Amino acid sequence: MSRMLSRSDNGKFLALELLTTRRAEVLSRITEGEPPSTSFYSFLKLTRKKYFVSYLDQLKEALEADDMMDFLGNETFQSYSHAKNGFSMKEVLSVPSIVERAITGLAAELIDSGDVKPGDAMAATLLVHEMLGQAATIRAESFTQTRDEIIRFYHSYQEEIDRFPSNLAATLDFSTLLLSAVKKCRDLVGAERCAFFTRDLLTNDLHLEASNFDEKTFGDRVVALDEPIVKKLVHQRESVVVEGYPRSMPHISAVMRTAKTKRMALVPLLVRDRNVGVMMLDNVENPQIFTTEKMNLAERFANKVAASMENARLHGSEQKKLKETIALLEVSRLVTSTLDIDVLLSRLVQITADVCEVGKCTMYIYLEENGRFFPTATFGMFPDSEWETALSAGVLPGDIISEEIDALMRNEVAVSEAHLSPFIPPDRLEDTGVKSVLLVPISSRDHLLGIMGLFYDKERDELDGEDLNLVSAIAGQAAVAMDNASLYEDLEMSYFSTVKALARAIEVKDPYTYGHSERVTEYAMVIGKKLDLSEWDLRNLKYAAALHDIGKLGIAGHILNKPGALSEDEFVHIKTHPQMGDSIMEPVSFLKEPRAIILHHHERWDGKGYPEGLKGKKIPLGARILAVADSFEAMMSDRPYRKALDLQDAIKEIEDNAGTQFDPLVVTAFIDALDEDAGQLVISSSEALEDDSDDAVSGLD
């Protein structure tokens, strides 16, 4: 059974309100112009509005029941159905993304209007984000599995094809297939030379794919067909044997003269009775080889090659779609798993460059205060491709061709000719081979956030339309991620301001602790980063360090400020401050995880600490880090009854107590950080009188 992993009552209440009484406002944010297309809904016999009304109902029911099973089951079925019926991964994944964007946008608006508290709004949006993140993952997984089924069916179909010629039927790479076909054609038909062409369905021009003719025979690899040959090969789907150099066929006659042959056979490549190309044969030494029997054999062989070409094309298309699906799945996973926008954008440009097979991809963020595009993340295969360093001043919209910047502002893709683009230095055009730069807008609610630039070695009219769709989908995910990160950052800053205000309350209670929490926080964060803690664990550690002594609000002032040693009863009393801190923090839902660190930051590695006497790794890692940071800061600050220790003495005390009071691994990380920082990290304060006399009693003195 799938259940929500985290929630708060206020967050759940607000989320339900958004899905019920404010549903109309949510629906109004789902505009008609967004994908998926109308056919996506009509396939389910629903209008767009009815579809999203139903979707919000299912989301509400899952939230009310605190049970995602039915909701995710429906997501799986819908994704499977749409994948089976040819809809794209982008369309399938856009549904939860659109709904989340609408709900998050409404929550942000309610914060601005003062209708809801930021804390409740964050809890609600995170809850919805978690639910729809699961939905997106399920949709992507179901879509991928369905695509795998299609590919497996395709492979099984391939195996059932006539085994003649067996090596061709087993070959799914288009180029390899046709090179093998050239060789097999000589063996089976007896042709001296053979060439395979695909046909342009609009112009009927032939495009060379593989050949053992001399390279000069077909010039620029394009052959125009004469009208009599078009009639035979395309309309009547029959083979043609051309003799001499007929005046009615000037194009093919020119090819024959270049090839120095007087008899040439042209055989249609047919797929489902449709001409997709031509097999061209000749034999200069034996021009009479093309008998009726030989031509029949050539036609049967051409049919096998045509079927294999189509299969190879489909396989390549499916492989590309599968690669795109995996890429979009990875993008979806990134968007739902991290709020670190730098990490996210770095991975997005890498994924995009890989899937679209471009030499370089760069993300440019638009800063309104400067009115410029600044490079933020880049990934490239060109030597010395970090030319963005020369763009440190940014790119002005006016530097971009007006038609292109207008398109970007309309949230449309633009393609620049490389020599006119401000995003690549003119002196890098030749060595990189870049011919065009695809610019994809990253927009949210008609607001341009940035541009994704892809550097192609193709001309603008040669770019693959499917690439444009894929990059647009990734850019859409980037916009959602940037919106989420921005909202989360705003809310977290609000929360941290509250945390700092609480920390100040401690200092009002005990003036000797002025600045203590800030210094402990800095030491703790340095240790956490040295130990490679995740961004979430670092966030919890930061809150815990800032509030680790909040429980001393419940300790009598005459005990906190006593200039001498504490009595046994006083020490027992002061040892209750971790539990008091935990109790004070209990109603604050976003501090649930930091509470455990606050509660246990006076535990000892050897199990002789308080309040619960935890030992070794049973003590939360954050608490073990905080114990070192707190004790070191205590020793580096003056106390009412003694002066601060110097740096070397304080370090020695920490090292001497590794394995008894402190986790040796944490001590090593801290000492290494001090060594690397050459002492600059230390924030000794002789003015701030530290109150943590219980640390001195519990193992440092």
> For the chain, what are the domain ranges?
1-160, 166-317, 338-480, 510-700
Buried (b) or exposed (e) across 227-257, using 16+ Cβ within 10 A?
eebeebbbeeeebbebeeeeeebeebbebbe
State which CATH number among 3.90.1150.10, 1.10.3210.10, 2.40.170.20, 1.20.140.10 fits the domain covering 510-700: 1.10.3210.10
Q: What is the pLDDT of residue 364?
A: 86
| 319 confidence band (pLDDT: 50, 70, 90) | low
| 321 confidence band (pLDDT: 50, 70, 90) | low
Over residues 566-578, the mean pLDDT reads: 84
Q: Is 502 in a helix, a strand, or coil?
A: helix
CB atoms within 10 A of CB 108: 19
pLDDT for 596 beyond 90: yes
Q: What is the percentage of the chain residues whose pLDDT exceeds 90? A: 22
| 175 confidence band (pLDDT: 50, 70, 90) | confident
Same CATH fold assignment for domains 166-317 and 338-480: yes
Put residue 407 in one of left, alpha, beta given phi > 0 → left and psi -120 to 50 → alpha: alpha
What pTM does this model have?
A: 0.39
Residues across the chain: 701
Q: What is the pLDDT of residue 316?
A: 65
Pick 360 or 613 by higher pLDDT. Answer: 613
CA 303/CA 315 separation, integer angstroms: 18
Pick 353 or 275 by higher pLDDT. Answer: 275
- What is the rounded average pLDDT for all residues in the chain? 80
Indicate the CATH number for domain 338-480. Answer: 3.30.450.40
Could you please state the CATH topology (level 3) that the domain comprising 1-160 is classified under.
Globin-like (1.10.490)
pLDDT for 518 beyond 60: yes
Pick 551 or 533 by higher pLDDT. Answer: 533
166-317 belongs to CATH 3.30.450.40: yes
Supply φ then ψ for residue 308, to 5 degrees: -65, -35
pLDDT for 679 beyond 70: no
Asked if residues 634 and 627 have their Cβ atoms less than 8 Å apart, the reply is no
Digit-coded pLDDT (tens) for 119-174: 888 888 888 888 888 988 998 888 888 877 756 644 443 443 344 345 544 466 77
Q: Cite the DSSP H helix spans in 338-426.
A: 341-356, 402-409
pLDDT for 611 beyond 90: yes
